[in-house]
C-alpha cells in the first residue's frame, strides 16, 4: 500500500489544519543552575508557572519537607543521555547536600522540584 494514497491512486487530503490547542508546545528541559521560572498562559486564560533552571529541591525526609541544594544528576531511568546533560526529570536520581534523592514530580510542568531521600 502506498502511504497517503487511495486504492485508485488518488491522494487523501486532510479536512483541516491543527488548531492552536492541538499543536504541541515547546519542550521545556529543566537543568541545574540559578532558579529561573517562566509563566505561561494556558487553556481557559489560566496561568502556569514552569521551571527552566533550579539548584534547590524540596526534600522529604521522614515525612518532613526540607529545602536543600542539588549537586549533580546521577542517573535518569528514561534516558542515560539526560543524566549526562544534568537534566532534571521525574524519576531522576540526584545528588543533594543530604544524600541521594529521587525526583517525584514533573519540574517542567510545575514551578518546583520535589524529591524523596533514598539513603
| CATH number, domain with residue 82 | 3.10.290.70
Let me know if residue 6 belongs to a domain: no
Q: What is the DSSP letter of 46?
A: -
Let me know if residue 75 belongs to a domain: yes
Let me know if residue 67 belongs to a domain: yes
Q: What is the pTM of this model?
A: 0.80
* SS3 (DSSP) at 16: coil
Q: 105 and 94 in contact (C-beta within 8 Å)?
A: no
Give me the number of domains the chain comprises.
Answer: 1
State which residues form the domain around 111: 26-117
* pLDDT tens, residue order, the chain (119 aa): 567 788 898 988 888 888 988 988 888 899 999 999 999 998 899 999 999 999 999 999 999 999 999 999 999 999 989 999 999 999 999 999 999 999 999 998 989 999 999 97
Q: Which of 48, 22, 53 is nearest to 36 (CA)?
A: 53
Amino acid at each position: 500500500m502506498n502511504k497517503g494514497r487511495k486504492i485508485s491512486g488518488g491522494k487523501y487530503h486532510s479536512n483541516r489544519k491543527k488548531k492552536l490547542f492541538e499543536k504541541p508546545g515547546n519542550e521545556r528541559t529543566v537543568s541545574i543552575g540559578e532558579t529561573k521560572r517562566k509563566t505561561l498562559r494556558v487553556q481557559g486564560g489560566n496561568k502556569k508557572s514552569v521551571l527552566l533552571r533550579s539548584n534547590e529541591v524540596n526534600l522529604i525526609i521522614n515525612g518532613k519537607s526540607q529545602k536543600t541544594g542539588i549537586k549533580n544528576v546521577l542517573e535518569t531511568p528514561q534516558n542515560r543521555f539526560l543524566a549526562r546533560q544534568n537534566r532534571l526529570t521525574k524519576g531522576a536520581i540526584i545528588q543533594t547536600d543530604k544524600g541521594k534523592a529521587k525526583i517525584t514530580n514533573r519540574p517542567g510542568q510545575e514551578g518546583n522540584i520535589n524529591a524523596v531521600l533514598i539513603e
